[in-house]
Amino acid sequence: MRALDRKLLRDLWHVKGQALAIAAVIACGVAIVVMTYGAMISLRETRDAYYERYRFADVFSQLRRAPLRVAAQVSEIPGVAAAAARITYYAALDIPSLDRPASALLVSLPDEGEPRLNRLALREGRMPMRGRDELVMSENMAQALGDHTGAHLSVLLNGRKRDFTVVGIALSPEFIYTLPPGQLMADDKAFGVLWMPRRILEAAYDLDGAFNDISLSLSPGASEPEVIRRLDNLLARYGGTAAYGRADQMSNAYVDQELDQLRTVALVIPPVFLAVAAFLINMVLSRLIDTERESIGLLKSFGYSNGEVGRHYLKFSLVITAAGVVAGIAAGLWLGRWMTGMYQDYFRFPFLEYRMDPAVFSMAVLLSLLAAALGTWTAVLRAVRLAPATAMQPPAPAIYRRTLLDRMGLDRIASMPTQMILRHIERWPLRAALTICGSAMAVMLLVGLFFFFDAIDELVDSFYFRANRQDVVIGLVDRRGERARFDIAHLSGVRGAEPVLEVPARLSHGHVSQRLGISGLRSGTRYRAFYDLAGRAFTLPQEGIVLSNKLAGLLQVQGGDAVDVDVLEGARRHARLRVSAIAMEHVGLSAYMDQRALWRLTGEPHAITAIQALLDRAVQERLLKRLKDIPAVATVSTRQQAISALRETMAKSMTIVIDFYIGLGAIIAFGVIYNAARISLSERGRELASLRVLGFTGGEVTYILLGELALLVLAALPIGCALGYGLAWLMASAMETKLFRVPFIILPATYGIAMGIVLISAAASALVVGRRISRLDLIAVLKTRE
Amino acid sequence: MARATDIRSAPTDLARGAVAFHVHGLTKIYRSGEVDVAALRGVELDIFESEVLVLLGPSGSGKSTFLNILGGLDRPSAGDVLFRDHHLTTMSERELTRYRRDHVGFVFQFYNLIPSLTAKENVALVTEIASRPMTPSDALAIVGLEDRQNHFPAQLSGGEQQRVAIARAIAKRPEILLCDEPTGALDSPTGVIVLQAIERINAELGTTSVIITHNVAIADMGDRVASFANGRIAGVVKNAARQPAKSLKW
């Protein structure tokens, strides 16, 4: 090994603490890139493979009832590769171990063979046999209930209880993610999918030789909109509710949304880390070069060229970067595997392939090298430019001046050490600025990440408390008349009940259209509150239609504009409605109308699909049990249950991620502050030792060094908070999807926690450096020259 | 001290003959803030191949600046330095680097060893880039440090460190050895050992050696002694006979 390389290794060893801190920051950036891209690629590949192997359909449509021959006509539509007709219904379940009603989506299985599309991935057991009351249960529900094959389950088929044996447990590409209708969060105990032989559903729902649900796959090159148009035409007279593609299929939309969000994280967060790494490399390297100016002059005097000297210091940062990249890739692979595994809990895949694209490694390496090059550039240039004769002489003593504060009279009130601190900062304003900048970045990152907790709280608060005030939403098996409300309202413990009508419709404005359910609420409803974009409450107008802000944005309409409304069932009427107001909502695309206006629109007065009710807390449990026995009830979702499900999911998935990010923030803070302190110490060691010789106490000397850092860190806190506000805003807007808007809200406590973590980090680095100050060699300092 | 006539530029007077450096009208002005400080004011001097030239003078008289320019570390503001056939003053940065690498060895007052490298590695730093070097061990043997090769600078005494610096300077077999106060930080007996090393290299390799000192006693080991004062050469004297370094005392 060449002597110069040996010097490099020993120099690195000498600054190992600082080098490690930098490598750790680089490793964090690289790890996030590898982790998020790894998870993203794996998720995407797994989804694609799953869809292909289990023949996930491309187009879906629900209808009221059509004879099976229509299915044959559907498969003749040009561009359709295969069509699978079936029967689907929501039904209530009786699960004795559960204190609330449960429900399921019932899906028919062909009497012979496997479904042509949307095949099941059997995880356990077998498919139901003909002529027996057997079913296959979705894995999420089976796991939540602790059920295995052989378990018994009562299903209310069209109001009549029937006992089934669970013979299989399965997954389906249609239900990677399942949400109970009208809910924000999955509730696996109380909602699942059940597959059972077609004959059973046919008989129960009077659909002999008919179907109410059809899925299609498209041949390559087929136009999805064209197929959908023809399908809708064909199914219109059978009560078709407008077909939709994968983009509007709920489970698929959620997976897509998750992929989008992963991409956002992968795009926004790593650059922050790499910027900090570049900054740290610059800080350490330029100060190293300052302390090495003699060696640089010496090397040049021996005849080492500028290029050779430059390369020497370049290698210094390359070694650190390489260490960071290697550690980052290793950590990223491990974390990516873990994160992908976590999706197993969240999404349901029969297999999960952890894949990694080598291009991601190259990208991570390139980004890190770029950061290193940026950080190294100016420092190395200084080494190259240093004229040998100048380098050989000790640098001229730094010129200190009376500071602005001195001139304002501070020298009369501040102690000598305090004045030294202030003069040092004023003498090296750029250096001070960089330390502030680095610490501020740590605060920024933490605020920008912790903001998600506030966002989720706000989401829960706005959705479950401010907007929706009912304790329970009871979904009905069919369009009952308003009578059903009286039945439920008269149960003891119900403090009030209102009917809700949900009608599938297509809303269009210009070229844009969106398919969704319009909610018809009673005028002057007490259970649903509306807020306009300025946060003012308003009541549901009797005429026109209210759109959520996301929907209004999508359709590019404002209050007062007209939208075209096509009802997608019943008489399939059309109307042009005025947008009477726009309601602020974080989740989903929704439209609301006064119930009477909606009845007039559909031509079905008094039809309702659900009931929302307020319950007496004291008897809530008993009441929910009673609801289980009412045949008209299909689903029951309580607010309490939904919130605790949400919190549980968050606790499972978020806490580990957040712990990880706290670690990252702390590493950045530590990296910046520890480096600043160590470099200050190496530069000012002589000065500080001389002060000790003059009789200053260890504490006073420590104060001079660490007091300066404390001052800079304190100055960084508000700046970091301001930057964090910006980062949070960026994250919130980048994460916004069609279905979901991250509320932009940061609570004061979030700033507090972020600042606290940085302060603890700063204190830890102060402690480490402080111990070194106490070990300063007082004699050596007086012997050697400056 | 035996002195002969002032021979500022009279090569014929010197038996050794060939001129290594021809210095003419050398001026160096440092600009510090708004004041110009003249470090050299028109220095005229010839330095002969294989001689030992001692530069005497108080601090600030321009000795170090002169030495740095001879070594290609610094450039003059005006005037010319001819090394054999080459004008140092017109050389590019790259050529100066080449010149230092191939021809010049430096010894500094404060040794300037790289603290993170052992004695042998400090020497290797130079031998690795030289065209016909001796081995680091041989160079260290010349200065009597063959058994201290693997010590780090911090484990060596001041005199030992300076001898490592000399070994480092001579390991490339330079034609020119430039020493800036080589004994300035050493006591007399240690200083003598260091000077003996320089003397030996001059004798064995015929290296042209320029030694800066403010210590008059050292002047006796030179062939000639040039006195600097106020940026000029106040006088050059030829020693009638060089005193061996061993006999010097201060």
Q: Is B84 on the interface with A (CB under 8 A)?
A: no
Shared domain check, A202 and A69: yes
Q: What is the CA radius of gyration of chain B?
A: 17
Pair type for strands A152-157 and A160-171: antiparallel
Sheet holding A80-86, edge to edge: A80-86, A210-218, A59-67, A244-245
Out of B73, B110, B168, whose CB is closest to A388? Answer: B73
Of B222, B218, B216, nearest in space to B202 by CA: B222
What pLDDT is attached to residue B2? 40
For residue A127, give the DSSP letter. P
Q: Is B121 on the interface with A (CB under 8 A)?
A: yes
Of A85, A171, A180, nearest in space to A122 by CA: A171
Question: In terms of residues, how long is chain B?
Answer: 250
Interface of B with A in 209-228 (CB under 8 A): none
Shared domain check, A581 and A609: yes
What pLDDT is attached to residue A620? 81
- CA-nearest residue of chain A to B119? A3
- CA-nearest residue of chain B to A298? B112
Q: Tell me, yes or no, whether A312 lies in a domain.
A: yes
Q: Tell me, yes or no, whether B3 lies in a domain.
A: no
Q: How far apart are CA A650 and CA A342, in angstroms?
A: 12
**Which of A293, A302, A392, A785 to probe by mutation at the B interface, max B CB count within 10 Å?**
A302
Shared domain check, A261 and A247: no
User: Cα A103–A108–A109 angle (5° rounding)?
Assistant: 130
Percentage of chain B exceeding pLDDT 70 = 92
What pLDDT is attached to residue A404? 67
| Sign (positive or negative) of CA dihedral A350, A352, A353, A359 | positive
Could you tell me where the beta strands, DSSP code E, fall in B14-51?
Answer: 19-32, 35-48
Least confidently predicted of A271-275, A741-745, B149-153, B166-170:
A271-275
Q: Do B100 and A301 touch (CB under 8 A)?
A: yes
Residue at which a domain ends, from A195, A225, A251: A251
What pLDDT is attached to residue A736? 75
B179 vs A282, residue with greater confidence:
B179
B13-50 residue pLDDT tens: 444 568 999 999 999 998 766 778 889 999 999 999 99
**Which of B114, B140, B175 to probe by mutation at the A interface, max A CB count within 10 Å?**
B114
Burial tier of A287 (Cβ tally within 10 Å: 0-12, 13-18, 19+)? buried
Shared domain check, A445 and A310: no
* H or E stretch covering B201: helix B188-205
Shared domain check, A136 and A197: yes
Q: Do A302 and B68 touch (CB under 8 A)?
A: no
Task: Show the low-confidence residues of chain A (pLDDT under 70).
Answer: 182-185, 345, 391-407, 409-414, 481, 649-658, 738-740, 777-786
Q: How far apart are CA A215 and CA A202, in angstroms?
A: 18
Q: How far apart are CA B182 and CA B163, in angstroms?
A: 9
**Which of B32, B95, B106 to probe by mutation at the A interface, max A CB count within 10 Å?**
B106
What pLDDT is attached to residue A428? 77
Of A326, A290, A179, A9, nearest in space to A740 by CA: A179
User: A103 vs A142, A519, B16, CA distance in Å?
Assistant: 13, 21, 112
Kindly report the nearest CA distance between residue B51 and chain A, in angstroms: 22
- CA-nearest residue of chain B to A4? B125
By residue range, what is the domain housing residue B212?
48-75+92-243
Q: Tell me, yes or no, whether A405 lies in a domain.
A: no
Q: Is B114 on the interface with A (CB under 8 A)?
A: yes
Contacts of A688 (CB under 8 A, 6+ apart): A681, A701, A704, A705, A773, A776
Q: How far apart are CA A529 and CA A537, in angstroms?
A: 7
Q: Tell me, yes or no, whether A349 lies in a domain.
A: yes
User: Cα B141–B142–B147 angle (5° rounding)?
Assistant: 25
Shared domain check, A337 and A267: yes
Q: Is A644 on the interface with B (CB under 8 A)?
A: no
- CA-nearest residue of chain B to A9? B116
What is the number of other CB atoms lying within 10 angstroms of the CB of residue B28?
22
Residue at which a domain ends, from A216, A251, A286: A251
For residue A467, give the DSSP letter. I
Kindly report the average pLDDT of chain B as a whole number: 86
Q: Is B93 on the interface with A (CB under 8 A)?
A: yes
Q: How far apart are CA A710 and CA A704, in angstroms?
A: 10
Q: Tell me, yes or no, whether A601 lies in a domain.
A: yes
B124-140 residue pLDDT tens: 888 888 888 999 999 99
Which CATH number goes with the domain that contains B133?
A: 3.40.50.300
Q: Do A2 and B101 touch (CB under 8 A)?
A: no
Q: Is A389 on the interface with B (CB under 8 A)?
A: yes
CB A231 within 8 A of CB A83: no
Shared domain check, A203 and A136: yes
Supply the ipTM of this predicted assembly: 0.74
Shared domain check, A532 and A391: no
Q: Is the pLDDT of residue B10 over 50?
A: no
Q: How far apart are CA B171 and CA B193, in angstroms?
A: 18
What pLDDT is attached to residue B13? 44
Kindly report the nearest CA distance between residue A435 and chain B, in angstroms: 28
Q: Is A154 on the interface with B (CB under 8 A)?
A: no
Q: How far apart are CA B99 and CA B119, in angstroms?
A: 25
Out of A10, A302, A305, whose CB is closest to B94? Answer: A305
Out of B74, B97, B117, whose CB is closest to A7? Answer: B117
**Number of domains, chain B:** 1
For residue A466, give the DSSP letter. I
Interface of A with B in 2-31 (CB under 8 A): 2-4, 6-7, 10-11, 14
The answer to pTM > 0.80 is: no
Q: Tell me, yes or no, whether A403 lies in a domain.
A: no
A346-385 residue pLDDT tens: 778 888 777 778 888 888 888 888 888 888 888 888 888 8
Q: How far apart are CA A291 and CA A379, in angstroms?
A: 12
Token readout for A722 is 């301001």
What pLDDT is attached to residue A777? 65
Out of B100, B108, B122, whose CB is closest to A303? Answer: B100
CB A375 within 8 A of CB A278: yes
Shared domain check, A74 and A32: no
- Chain B residues with CB under 8 Å of A682 CB are none
Kindly report the nearest CA distance between residue A305 and chain B, in angstroms: 6
CB B130 within 8 A of CB A5: no
Size of interface A-B (CB pairs under 8 A): 76
Q: How far apart are CA A536 and CA B242, in angstroms?
A: 103
Q: Do A3 and B122 touch (CB under 8 A)?
A: yes
Shared domain check, A233 and A141: yes
3 state SS of A108: strand
Q: How far apart are CA A388 and CA A566, in angstroms?
A: 82
Q: How far apart are CA A627 and CA A615, in angstroms?
A: 12
Q: Tell me, yes or no, whether B12 lies in a domain.
A: no
Contacts of B206 (CB under 8 A, 6+ apart): B49, B50
Q: How far apart are CA A427 and CA A421, in angstroms?
A: 10
Q: Do A14 and B125 touch (CB under 8 A)?
A: no
**Beta partners for A514?**
A507
Kindly report the nearest CA distance between residue A14 and chain B, in angstroms: 9
Q: How far apart are CA A321 and CA A368, in angstroms?
A: 7
Q: Is the pLDDT of residue B1 over 50?
A: no
Q: Tell me, yes or no, whether A679 lies in a domain.
A: yes
Q: Do A302 and B128 touch (CB under 8 A)?
A: no
A123-134 residue pLDDT tens: 999 999 888 999
What amino acid is encoded at A433 in this protein? A
**Number of domains, chain A:** 4
B182 vs A339, residue with greater confidence:
B182
Q: How confident is the model at residue B9 (pLDDT cuts 50, 70, 90)?
A: very low
- CA-nearest residue of chain A to B64? A389
Interface of B with A in 161-180 (CB under 8 A): 168
By residue range, what is the domain housing residue A110?
54-251
Q: How far apart are CA A224 and CA A80, in angstroms?
A: 9
Shared domain check, A203 and A190: yes
Out of B104, B114, B130, whose CB is closest to A295? Answer: B114
Of B44, B107, B73, nearest in space to B235 by CA: B44
Contacts of B142 (CB under 8 A, 6+ apart): B167, B170, B197, B200, B201, B204
Q: How far apart are CA A749 and CA A742, in angstroms?
A: 19
| Sign (positive or negative) of CA dihedral A544, A545, A546, A547 | negative
3 state SS of B113: coil
Q: Do A302 and B97 touch (CB under 8 A)?
A: no
Q: Do B117 and A10 touch (CB under 8 A)?
A: yes
Shared domain check, A269 and A388: yes
